[in-house]
Structure 1
Amino acid sequence: MITINIEKNSRLEDVETYLTQLERAIEFDVDVNLMLPRALNYSYFGIAPAIMLFVVTWLRYKNAAKLFIDIEDVSSEALIELYKNELIFPMVVLAWNRTGIYTKDGRNLRHPLQPFNKLYAERMLNGRTIPGNKLLLADFDHLPDDRLLPCFGGKYQFIQTKIQLKNSIEKGIKEVFYMYSELPRAFDHAKDPFVSIIYELMKNTFEWARHDGSQVPLDPNIRGTLVKFIKRKRSNLLEEYKWHKGLKHFFASTRLKENVNKELYFMEISVFDGGIGFADKFRSVNLEAQSWDEIDIIRKCLTKHSTSAQGIYKEEKGLGLDEILKILDGRGLIRIKTGHSCIYRNMITHGYDELRENQQITLYDWKNDSNEKFTSYKKIEGSVITIVYPIEFTEF
């Protein structure tokens, strides 16, 4: 038996290390425990949902053993601090009936965590923020119908309009902005794009990420969104992400306006799911795609009408990801992690072009920045789309 320790200072590249450790364990058919940190010390770009997908991958392994949390103190005060870590609630619920949850010294955490789970569930059911002014909304498809979030509809039907979603989560989005009183108009300008992004991407998970390739419901399964407001000095961002050409160029753009303290304001929006990934799902419903390259399938999913179908209410599908590119046109950055792939597109330097049939959308490999040679990463279950959306912006 081995234990994989998720470090409190984890970066995106560390997730690949954890996947390598899990792959080796699978190769030798050994039991694997997982240890979550009591806190994430740094809010690195997209790190929390990236770790969530690793936990999903671990849970799908037949020899997944116990989920530990790096705590010994189970007092109310300690658990209040613990639940400020956005990983804890969704991962605890996901693993609750699969592996159990334990302190680092092996004590069962089910009873101590129950009231905190209830509190978080109530906040989500009402579309409100969690500690730290973060909006976390997660649906667990294996739970009873009354535990699914009304803001997204239910088990059998996704909400029909963006207005319904806006009415459900408007207070939550406003709370994300609350501590930044120097941006009095930011909420009014930003709420509609944010609602549209969440609506389109969560609808996509409803349609594509609840079942395996044989249409069997995934159990356990998670689909959700995490929204954070971030205020950082441009110089600090450029130093922190100097290792990544795409992020460095994005944060260096003169179209991102600084405040008087040389700080940038932006939203980080992630939508994640525990489905079988873009490629495996696409191949399961498209026989001609069995030999297609994964990057080509991601391009297809991003292209208007490529996954079109008619729902029971005759709405047109296959538009969601294309709509996201339109919203981000000229101002945002999008990163997609799924299967063996991790790609991005800077929508400031490479804006939206409505693609004609047979054209290919240009994507860039997250690791080597190439738009021709793509890295094959360790396979991860599910998918996560993380978006940077600037608040103060120069319109040319």
Structure 2
Amino acid sequence: MISIPQAVSLKEIEAAYPTLSSGQTLRLPMSLKFGGGVGVTGSLIQLSAEWSRSVEVPTLRLYGKETAAVAEAVAKEPHSMAAAYFASAIESASGEAITTRDALGDVVARIAAMQSGRFRETMHGRGAFLGSFSRAKNEFLIPLYSRPELGAVRSRDEFITLTSRIIEACAPGAERHMDDATRVTLGTLIYELFRNTDEHATTDEEGRPYSKNLRAVMAKFISYDAKTAATHLGEDDPRLSFFLLHNIANRRTSKKGAEERWQNSQFAFLELTVLDTGPGLARRWFSRRQRGGDKIETMSIAQEVSLVQECFELHATTKSTAGSGAGLSYVLQTLQRLNAYLRLRTGRVCLVQDFSSPKNEASFSAQHWLKEQPELPMTAGACYSIVVPLSKVLL
């Protein structure tokens, strides 16, 4: 059995991949410590998808002992909702079988909240989650799609409004103080990323529909105390730690009286996640080049990174429809405007980039998350975890 601890780290998630093919049962906690670090929720969803495609009868075991407790656990966090969706069987902590209908009982309310725009009720904690579960009755969520069909993603302007409402659910103070330019930038970022997932995430590299698949948008409000932040960040992602600490150290100074100055002890960030469990960027881009029977696994990691980079270049796209292109290249521009941090897990790579460094133009110059381990296990889809600093006046 593969067991995921409550305080799971990104490195521990990666270490679980080699055991997937022999781990029929996956055990998940009801909640994550501190809500999970940056990228943890998305990484767990990718792990669940890859696990479900690696074993014959993927069985999810949760810590609840009774059916009601299991249903509560499933609906509490996005990673548990996704795992229950990908699983073929669900068990209580004691190993007692629970029907999918009973296990997903509390998820119905979450989906209803997604459909009706009550975003504060879509997940536990200060966050919002919109998940399009393929082949489900409510796959095409009203906030994301204008019609219940692929390709009917709502317009850029509608996504700008949607993103503002999602942020308002997570951090109402931040949204109230946000200027229109920031709203447009954030909304456009989510629009471009989700639109890019709409087509390439629903079929594998050979065009065959997945039996189970997920496309999702998530936002989480996270804050750190300036005095203790360093002790909580850890070494899971040194570049992210530097990014966070740099922003905390340079938080805005305010006047108090004629000469006295002070800094808020708290600094807030917004974590935006757009993910899918399709073939991933490089695999999709590679398949469109029609290189005979070659598979991406035969390529070097440097070549795979090069393919990912091509996806971000001007007019490159992993989509096959007319009029596509320039979406991911525009994402780079918005990330730079937001002084954001990007973590991208796709295929066999995890790439990170700090866009807060002054540059003349936006470019994709991401580095491997783990320098000592550039090649990671193959994972499902692509997960963009984006951290945006919020100034003191937005709290």
TM over 0.5: yes
Change (3 A) 1:321 1:203: same
Equivalent residue in structure 2 for 1:60, among 41, 46, 53: 53
- CA shift, 1:31, in A, is 5.7
Equivalent residue in structure 2 for 1:325, among 328, 332, 335: 332
Change (3 A) 1:132 1:352: farther
Equivalent residue in structure 1 for 2:190, among 198, 206, 210: 198
Please list the CA deviations of residues 88-135 of structure 1 after superposition, one character each: whole Å capped at 9, or x if unmatched.
22322333xxx1222111230534334312101111112323232311
Q: What is the 5 A alignment of 1:306-325? A: 306-307=316-317, 311=321, 315=323, 317-325=324-332
AA aligned opposite 1:101: I
- CA shift, 1:235, in A, is 4.2
> What CA distance in whole angstroms lies between the structure 2 residues aligned with 1:74 and 1:309?
42
> What CA distance in whole angstroms lies between the structure 2 residues aligned with 1:174 and 1:147?
24
Equivalent residue in structure 2 for 1:148, among 129, 140, 146: 140
Q: Work out whether residues 347 and 379 of structure 2, in 8 Å CA contact, stay in contact via their aligned partners in 1.
A: yes
Equivalent position of 2:246 in the other structure: 253
Equivalent position of 2:389 in the other structure: 390
- Asked whether 1:177 is paired with 2:176, we answer no
> What CA distance in whole angstroms lies between the structure 1 residues aligned with 2:100 and 2:281?
34
Equivalent position of 1:238 in the other structure: 230
- Asked whether 1:133 is paired with 2:126, we answer yes
Structure 2 alignment gaps of length 5 or more: 254-262
> What CA distance in whole angstroms lies between the structure 2 residues aligned with 1:38 and 1:381?
23
Change (3 A) 1:182 1:150: closer
SS at match of 1:44: coil
SS at match of 1:253: helix
AA aligned opposite 2:370: K
Equivalent position of 1:303 in the other structure: 313
Change (3 A) 1:182 1:269: closer
Q: Work out whether residues 74 and 81 of structure 2, in 8 Å CA contact, stay in contact via their aligned partners in 1.
A: no
Equivalent position of 2:108 in the other structure: 118
Identity over aligned residues, as a percent? 19
Q: What is the 5 A alignment of 1:363-378? A: 363-368=366-371, 375-378=374-377
Equivalent position of 2:258 in the other structure: none
> What CA distance in whole angstroms lies between the structure 1 residues aligned with 2:222 and 2:378?
30
Equivalent residue in structure 1 for 2:19, among 21, 28, 39: 21
> What CA distance in whole angstroms lies between the structure 2 residues aligned with 1:199 and 1:335?
18
- CA shift, 1:352, in A, is 6.6
- CA shift, 1:182, in A, is 7.8
Equivalent position of 1:358 in the other structure: none
Change (3 A) 1:109 1:81: same
SS at match of 2:7: coil
SS at match of 2:58: strand
Equivalent position of 2:85 in the other structure: 93
Change (3 A) 1:205 1:183: closer
Q: Work out whether residues 308 and 319 of structure 1, in 8 Å CA contact, stay in contact via their aligned partners in 2.
A: no
Equivalent position of 2:92 in the other structure: 103
AA aligned opposite 2:46: L
> What CA distance in whole angstroms lies between the structure 2 residues aligned with 1:31 and 1:337?
22
- CA shift, 1:378, in A, is 1.3
> What CA distance in whole angstroms lies between the structure 1 residues aligned with 2:163 and 2:201?
22
AA aligned opposite 1:177: A
TM-score (norm 1): 0.83
SS at match of 1:206: helix
Q: Work out whether residues 2 and 16 of structure 2, in 8 Å CA contact, stay in contact via their aligned partners in 1.
A: yes
Please list the CA deviations of residues 247-277 of structure 1 after superposition, one character each: whole Å capped at 9, or x if unmatched.
1321233585258442211100111111011
TM-score (norm 2): 0.83
Please list the CA deviations of residues 197-218 of structure 1 after superposition, one character each: whole Å capped at 9, or x if unmatched.
2211111101211111111111
Q: Work out whether residues 310 and 316 of structure 2, in 8 Å CA contact, stay in contact via their aligned partners in 1.
A: yes
Equivalent position of 1:51 in the other structure: 44
Please list the CA deviations of residues 279-336 of structure 1 after superposition, one character each: whole Å capped at 9, or x if unmatched.
2111111135965711001111111212287845xx4x22222222111216111011
> What CA distance in whole angstroms lies between the structure 2 residues aligned with 1:37 and 1:138?
20
Q: What is the 5 A alignment of 1:282-361? A: 282-287=285-290, 293-307=303-317, 311=321, 315=323, 317-329=324-336, 331-349=339-357, 351=359, 353=361, 361=364
- CA shift, 1:66, in A, is 1.1
- CA shift, 1:350, in A, is 6.2
> What CA distance in whole angstroms lies between the structure 2 residues aligned with 1:346 and 1:353?
14
Please list the CA deviations of residues 118-161 of structure 1 after superposition, one character each: whole Å capped at 9, or x if unmatched.
101111112323232311011112224x5421222232323252
- CA shift, 1:52, in A, is 0.6
Equivalent position of 1:264 in the other structure: 267
AA aligned opposite 2:191: Y
Q: Work out whether residues 256 and 393 of structure 1, in 8 Å CA contact, stay in contact via their aligned partners in 2.
A: no
Please list the CA deviations of residues 150-193 of structure 1 after superposition, one character each: whole Å capped at 9, or x if unmatched.
22223232325212234456433311113xx4874148664333
AA aligned opposite 2:93: K
CA RMSD of aligned residues (A): 2.8
Change (3 A) 1:14 1:374: closer
Q: Which moved more, 1:317-326 or 1:48-57?
A: 317-326
> What CA distance in whole angstroms lies between the structure 1 residues aligned with 2:58 and 2:174?
48
Q: Work out whether residues 345 and 351 of structure 2, in 8 Å CA contact, stay in contact via their aligned partners in 1.
A: yes
